[in-house]
Amino acid sequence: RVVKGFVIQTGDPMGDGTGGTSIWGREFEDEFHHDLRHDRPGVLSMANAGKNTNGSQFFITVTALPRLDNKHTVFGRIIKGMEVVHDIEKSRVDKLDKPIEDVKIINIDIQ
């Protein structure tokens, strides 16, 4: 999903919005830390359906979203390439926020 002014959500292997299994084969608990906040664009955080329901889906913020603190587990930040995030945010989407043309993450570097 690409929700302009909010987030880019991904990690849905089937592309149908239902998500997938975590690397542990089950949902896993939230992990919150006071230094990890949704305080800027480029925060990577787990999407969930409520407390302790993390699976495979995650999102990248396109703006600061402090209302998501202590509701979604932050696990990283984009340190280079935010222009790509903004380009994805400009994608044309349908009424369910799904891009009209597929957008795929082909390669990333984790530091």
> How far is the C-alpha of 37 from the C-alpha of 81, rounded, in Å?
20
pLDDT digits (tens, 9 = 90+) for 56-76: 999 999 999 999 999 999 999
Cα(52)–Cα(104) distance, rounded to whole angstroms?
A: 27
Q: pTM for the complete prediction?
A: 0.91
List residues with catalytic annotation: 1, 6, 9, 48, 59, 68, 72
- Tokens at 111, concatenated: 């530091």
Decide: residue 79, CB within 10 A, 0-12 exposed, 13-18 middle, 19+ buried.
exposed
8-61 confidence digits (pLDDT tens): 999 887 777 778 888 888 999 999 999 999 999 999 999 999 999 999 999 999
